[in-house]
Structure 1
Amino acid sequence: MNTIALGDLVLTNAKIVLADEVRQGSVRIDGGMITDIGTPSRTGLDLDGDYLIPGLVELHTDHLETHYAPRPKVRWNPVAAVQAHDAQIAASGITTVFDAIRVGLDENSDMGATEMGILANAIAAGTQAGRLRAEHHIHLRCEVSAPDCLESFLAIKDDSQVRLASLMDHAPGQRQFASMDAYKTYYQGKLKMSDAALADFTARRTEESQTYAEPHRRAIAAACNEMGIVLASHDDATGDHVAEAVALGIGVAEFPTTMEAALAARAAGMAILMGGPNMVRGGSHSGNVSARALAEADLLDILSSDYIPFSMLQSAFALAEVVESVSLPKAIQLVTKRPAAAAGFTDRGEIAVGKRADFVHLRIEDGIPIVLTVWRQGRRVI
């Protein structure tokens, strides 16, 4: 984004959160890259002893769709939606974001393949025009039980912005909704269905899952593996779910719903991702395993903002505060270095010489990290 262009820059008098320690000092940036980390300098931009952390790397945010479709049947200008989403993302300290776009139509969304393309084009236009604060990529949330999932995936898979795809099945009796009571509570609350309408809906979605989920899962996984698109499984609940993911070449376990699934994912060498809201709230809103419990068992690798962009930063500081075995540098890794590695990035995610100059300048007030300034590749964007 063409905001405040900074060439050679020194940020000084900061608590710099490195990969394994917090150090009082300064950071030098040349050409958008970190060239030196040293003791506090007499010259440069004084950060008043505040924290300086790497720019956050977000793998799973559902927020773009809420800007584009804020109400059922309401559509906002897609360029305006992307700009609003980008501003909120950057102000939350996120400098690299994977915008989740739904693939596969069900009653939880009235957005089809055409609108999926509209959003992808709006992201590309913003990137090409240089008006986005964060660096944007696309995460395809593939609802494998939806009849049109594979067709919609094939329509967008060659877009160069697509770097991540997750395979999910929100049909009744599956994964997140293994409990039919939880399924009924969620869908009747969200879609205002009568008991009769819910019974019809449940029967149809069950049949669709039985028909489409497995072939769609296999076809999409094969295509992603061939193209180098990172794969994630979603809401795994059992060891069998994890074994299926491993057989399909999946490396990221998104939101495992049970300790059993998380233990199996760790044994398989998968990166385990949980939601920031789960961490901040102290538990899952749907009764699944808590992020804190996984962190205490050393079964947590990545924190994502999920449905609240600021929760990503907030959850990292909360994690360091409430889990004794997790230091602040380790907690910050969960929102920077580790998601960057899971997405295949080696040039960002930590404050180290030779890495990109993506930074968040913040201080803690009333127990909340307050974002003051954000830089991406040495340019101030917030």
Structure 2
Amino acid sequence: MPHPSDEILARLMGLHPKIIDLTLDRVHRLLAATGHPEAVLPPVIHIAGTNGKGSTQAMIRAGLEAAGQRVHAYTSPHLARFHERIRLAGALISEPALAALLDECEAANGGAPITFFEITTVAAFLAFARTPADYTLLEVGLGGRLDATNVVAKPALTIITPVSIDHQQYLGETLPEIAGEKAGILKRGVPCVVGPQAPEGMEVIEAKAARLGAPLFAHGQHWHAFEERGRLIYQDETGLLDLPLPILPGPHQIENAGAALAALRCLGFDESACEAAVSRAEWPARMQRLRQGPLAESAPGIELWLDGGHNPAGGAAVAATLARMPARPTHLVCGMLNTKDIGGYLRPLVAQAQSLSAVSIPGEPNTLPAMQTAAAARAAGFASVSEAGSVAEALAVIAAEDPQARVLICGSLYLAGQVLRANG
């Protein structure tokens, strides 16, 4: 059943001809019209980066909440419902509250051009400003410097997770250019936790931080995180933590956990908050095991996984995760957007999977047709490639041929969201 917010969100999509148009003018105009909510948010932790933003944020939130803090959180895109983007003091925003805020922002905007992300970000800021909390976690939508979230003058802390090549059409062709956009969230005198970076990206971040007098807490310099004998070891100037491995699967989560722990330590939280960060975080569609629901139950012998990574670094992270799992025949069901580096995503996965079944993402105008994903998979080196009309159809074929296999549905957060909706 559609909610009132669905109708408003559909209308807001039509206020600007482009989905993405990076500039802050429209956001500043609407923030002024709504009474500058960005100026009265609970202390902000602002997170940019190409990969790992959401996982890092989820771990910080788990740590803060375990320490008794009330936490607002803003993320994008959503998977199953828009409400996931706005978490108010620990709970997802309610439908009545969301509909009322969207109405208010639509009226204040008065039909002027504004992108969907910009107007919904202002709605989130209004919600955060009006609900008491101890911290606000803000995840950048795209880039950093000109992202709609980058309007908070003095955050408590900024974080830059690993930067890699993605969204070149908006952020620049080279790693230094992209790192420069991400470093746009740095603020004068505000400390910044920096995850692992390529040297040419780190140079740009360090130069920007030096100009702004922003203290850096950088991976490999000020903090280290690594796995040792099945534990997560974290070390910084104040000492060593010996913690359980992150509950979020995959070796890349060690570094994301390191950034989250560095952030919690910067903010003065103790070891119990740090332990909760790694052991209690939940973040769907990041190597998520699907055990229940219609899709999982349609193939009871299959070990079913879901991941929304979609760029070359995401493909490499998934491949590294699969490589460390117990040996089992592994098949991919893959659907991607036509704006992504398809070959760069698929190449690391060739060694980890027996086959790939390509699907189109239903209802998604920018989907890569299954036929093109299949062609890209063959070019990347997959020996066995097929096409299917849907994820369910692909799963049924795999289950019939290999009933005890591992199946990973992958390639896009949009596909992951549809799978989570279909699987209840």
Higher relative CO (Cα under 8 Å, sequence separation at least 6) belongs to: 1
The structure richer in strand per residue is 1
TM-score, scaled to structure 1: 0.28
TM-score, scaled to structure 2: 0.26
The structure richer in helix per residue is 2
